[in-house]
A and B are shown apart, each in its own frame.
Chain A
Amino acid sequence: MINKNPKSFKDLNKRQGFTLAELVISVGLFTILMSIAVGGFIQAMRNQRMIISLMAINDGMSLTMEQMAREIRTGYNFCTKNYPITTLSECNSLNNSEIQFVNANNQVVRYRLSNSGIEKGIGEEIGGGFIYNKITADNVDVKNLNFRLSGNNANDKYPPRITVGVSFSSNSPDVKKLNISIDAQTTISARIIDT
């Protein structure tokens, strides 16, 4: 005998099938919940990708800053735009995101911002040209690079101090959408002190 008014699932089982309305509602509910779940899953994957690319640019930039800091720390004869050395004529052409100095191997070295990356240039001779190589990874988008120098003159009674400010982001489209920019800064005190 078919129960016309089912009170529980047990009664429901006794019936021969589902009505069209029941089927439509259950399939509809299932679809809604599944679309939320899949949407959430896709979002989670996107977030994971974004965090990975953010960590990748942090690691890359950390290596670059470390290399610059180490070379500056052991360098001498610094010049920047705010602090040109008048005796070195090529210092006058520097812009705000360039620094020139002589490193521990007595090479004339320049760091500069170029094409959203940081480049290191090694000068063949004083007054000669520089051969530049990019030292940041391609996934790093360097927006800003600033050098500030102080205490660089002889007899100024201060040791050279170089402050490096860098603003960077990622070239990955996931990070670009969020407009995240990291403004990092560090100061280096040259270990070869002047007078």
Chain B
Amino acid sequence: MLVELMVSISLLVVGFLGFLGLLSRSLSLNRVVADQFIANYLAMEGIEITKNLIDSNIIQGSPWNQSFTTPNKCYKFDYLTTEVSPNEEGDCNPLVNPPLNYDTNNFYSYIAGAETPFFRIVSITPKGSDEIKVNSIVKWKSRGGIKNEINLEDHFFNWR
């Protein structure tokens, strides 16, 4: 009788533990939703900065794809990047580079600030002399160490 009681109670307890575990999981899920939103916009920013740098080349009278002619180069661009220098080059695995900081101007950048979980790299591959392929890759780790990645791709052409 006692054994039956113990077995049934422990079964119930195990069942409830699983149920409660599920609840705490859904609590961390809302952070995933927010992080995905932020990462998406950070990835779009990478593409726009590249577009801006191409336009700079045109204004300055340089070849449109200046500094983007070497294959398989990856760059750490942020909103303050105005020139492509060796300083901007980074490893093509975003997680090897420093993460983006949330700086004192309330912007994500590589200048001093609070460290964020987001790592970004802009990978640029020339395709002939009139086209470049740009991949803006944002990686971040959410709670529980799950790795997330957003990879946006765009192609820019020599048209201006």
A interface with B by C-beta (< 8 Å): 6-9, 12, 29, 33, 36-37, 40, 43-44, 47-48, 50-51, 54-55, 58, 61-62, 65, 144, 146, 148, 150-151, 157-159, 161, 163, 165, 167, 178, 180, 182-189, 193-195
Cα A65 to Cα B37 with chains together (Å): 12
For B33, what are the chain A residues with a Cβ–Cβ distance below 8 Å?
51, 54-55, 58
Decide yes or no: A157 and B59 within 8 Å by CB, A148-B105, A182-B34 being known contacts: yes
Chain B CB within 10 A, most for which of A62, A148, A165, A178: A165
Interface residues of B in 95-146 (CB under 8 A from A): 102, 105-108
Main secondary structure of the interface of B (DSSP, over half): helix
User: Are B42 and A185 in contact, CB atoms less than 8 angstroms apart?
Assistant: yes
Q: A43-B23, A158-B56 are in contact. List 4 more A-B contacts (CB 8 A).
A: A146-B107, A180-B31, A185-B45, A193-B59
Compute how far the CA of A161 lies from the CA of B55 in the bound complex, rounded to whole angstroms: 10
Residue B93 CB within 8 A of the other chain: no
A62 to B52, CA, bound (A): 22
Which of B37, B38, B55 is in CB contact (< 8 Å) with A189? B55
Cβ A165 vs Cβ B30 within 8 A: no
B79 part of interface (Cβ distance < 8 Å): yes
CB pair B20–A40 under 8 Å, yes or no, is: yes
Chain A: minimal CB distance from B53 (Å): 9
Chain A proximity of B105: nearest CB distance (Å): 7
| B4 touching A9, Cβ below 8 Å | yes
10 cross-chain pairs, A with B, having the tightest CB-CB distances, nearest first: A189-B52, A159-B55, A163-B79, A186-B41, A187-B45, A189-B51, A182-B34, A47-B26, A184-B41, A187-B48
A184 touches B37 (CB 8 A): yes
Residues of chain A lying within 8 A (CB to CB) of residue B1: 6-9, 12
- Name the B residues within 8 Å of A165 (CB-CB): 105-108
Residues from chain A with Cβ under 8 Å of B52 in the complex:
151, 158-159, 161, 187, 189
Contact call B106/A189, Cβ cutoff below 8 A: no
**Chain B, residue nearest A26 (CB):** B5
Judge whether B107 and A186 touch: CB under 8 Å.
Answer: no
| Residues of B near any A CB (own CB < 8 A) | 1, 4, 9, 12, 16, 19-20, 23, 26-27, 29-31, 33-34, 37-38, 41-42, 44-45, 48-49, 51-52, 55-56, 58-60, 79, 82, 102, 105-108, 160
Among A36, A51, A185, which residue has its beta carbon within 8 angstroms of that of B29?
A51
CB distance from A194 to the nearest CB of B (A): 8
Which B residue's beta carbon lies closest to that of A194? B59
Pairwise interchain contact A180-B107, C-beta atoms closer than 8 A:
no
Instruction: Report the bound CA distance from A58 to B105 in whole Å.
Output: 23
User: Using Cβ atoms and an 8 Å threshold, which residues of chain A touch B108?
Assistant: 165, 183, 185
What separation, in Å, do the CA atoms of A8 and B2 have in the docked complex? Answer: 9
Measured in the bound complex, the distance between the Cα atoms of B108 and A62 in whole Å is 18
- A55 vs B41: C-alpha distance when bound (angstroms): 16
Contact A189 B48 (CB under 8 A): yes
Contact B30 A51 (CB under 8 A): yes
Partner of B16, one of A36, A44, A65, A188: A36
A195 to B9, CA, bound (A): 78
Known contacts A6-B1, A54-B34, A44 near B107 by CB under 8 Å: no
- What's the Cα separation between A158 and B79 when bound, in Å? 13
A54 CB to nearest B CB, Å: 5
Q: Is the CB of B23 within 8 A of A189?
A: no
